[in-house]
Amino acid sequence: MRKLNVALLSGGTSGEREISSKGGDRVYEALDKAVYNVMCYDPRTDLARLAADARQIDVALVILHGVPGEDGTIQGMLDLLEIPYQCTGVMGSAIAMNKLVSKFFYEKAEIPVPKYASCIRGQYIDAGAIIGRLGLPLVIKPASGGSSLGMSIVRSADEFNAALVSAFSCDDTVISEQYLQGTEITGGVLGNHELEALPIVEIVPKDAHEFFDYRAKYTPGETEEICPARIDDSLAQTARSLAKAAHRALFCKGCSRTDMIISNGRIHVLETNTIPGMTPVSLLPLAAQTAGMTYSQLLDRLIELALEKPGFPEKPAEEITHCFVREKKHT
């Protein structure tokens, strides 16, 4: 059989370039070279070459994080070039990239989110009112972006402005969010129509980290990742169901990973990653491994999903969140 020509996209120009490159290197190593011809492209320098090679490319693996790349821009280019890819399309990528817009869609689908307030550059921001409504501590984060860049925990009113400045250095829209003390978990999902929720991963950053920050995320040994999470079965089921509901609510395709916090026995959704990390310490590969899939098998599955023809699912989705039929509550 002819080998599939795979375009591997990693690197890029966002603040998460280094992580993307690390993930890309790991993906390159793990792809079975007997089955795939792998061609590598870094969008920082190679977009013209990608366009020139488009006719030979069967499928793309997009391992880009942050803006631009995870936000629908590369997906738009691949659509124009008629190259199928393993991740969410233009619209879903753009929605999921923005944590504020994502919340609107989560709320429509009755997915619980922490209390929040939006802060837009150029508009008056009433710090006292926000603190009054959300309480202290609270979290300030840029609406777009990832890897905890530009994020701070505000523990007293006099820290509010500095946190805002740091978040505004990443984005024009910033979110203030109620701080949730509790157990942090993440739920991976695979699929286009028929969805498979992977085992839930529990995230325990070492004490030195105030939260799951950049160093805790990417320095081996700085965080304990426990899969399956040490939570009771019914909570794990709810978390898996919420991860699938979030995948549907944001129009995700291929794979996603939804970050959540369990606080006072209740699960709150923080965000959905449409291109989850693929480095050696990343969480989606760990969840897949717990489900019995090696890293290489996970890549095979993602390529299969990228090449799956669009069509109607054979059976109705378990949780219907899109046509506003409320069949099932998640809490």
For residue 184, state whether it binds Mg ion (rule: CB under 5 A). no
For residue 179, state whether it binds ligand ADP (rule: CB under 6 A). yes
For residue 70, state whether it binds ligand ADP (rule: CB under 6 A). no
Give the active site residue among 10, 93, 98, 147.
147
Binder of ligand ADP out of 184, 190, 200, 245 (CB under 6 A): 184
CB of 244 to Mg ion, least distance (A): 18
Q: What is the 3-state secondary structure (H, E, C) of the chain?
A: CCCEEEEEEECCCCCCHHHHHHHHHHHHHHCCCCCEEEEEECCCCCHHHHHHHHHHCCEEEEECCCCCCCCCHHHHHHHHCCCCECCCCHHHHHHHHEHHHHHHHHHHCCCCCCCEEEEECCCCCCHHHHHHHHCCCEEEEECECCCCCCCEEECCHHHHHHHHHHHHCCCCEEEEEECCCCEEEEEEEECCCCCEECCCEEEEECCCCCCCCHHHHHCCCCEEEECCCCCCHHHHHHHHHHHHHHHHHCCCCCEEEEEEEEECCEEEEEEEECCCCCCCCCHHHHHHHHCCCCHHHHHHHHHHHHHCCCCCCCCCCCCCCCCCCCCCCCC
CB of 184 to ligand ADP, least distance (A): 5
# binding residues, Mg ion (CB under 5 A): 1
Binding partner selected for residue 299 from ligand ADP, Mg ion, none, CB under the kind-specific 5 to 8 Å limit = none
Within 135-164, which residues bind ligand ADP (CB under 6 A)? 139, 141, 146-148, 151
Within 227-266, which residues bind ligand ADP (CB under 6 A)? 259, 261
CB of 97 to ligand ADP, least distance (A): 9
257 is catalytic: yes
Interface segment toward ligand ADP; rule CB under 6 A; list 30-38, 90-98, 172-180, 221-229: 172-180
132 is catalytic: no
# binding residues, ligand ADP (CB under 6 A): 18
- Return the sign of the alpha-carbon dihedral for residues 177, 18, 92, 48: positive
For residue 28, state whether it binds ligand ADP (rule: CB under 6 A). no
For residue 177, state whether it binds ligand ADP (rule: CB under 6 A). yes
Binder of Mg ion out of 16, 42, 184, 259 (CB under 5 A): 259
Residues that bind ligand ADP (CB under 6 A): 114, 139, 141, 146-148, 151, 177-180, 184, 211-212, 259, 261, 270-271
Residues known to be catalytic: 16, 147, 218, 257, 259, 271, 273, 277
Residues that bind Mg ion (CB under 5 A): 259
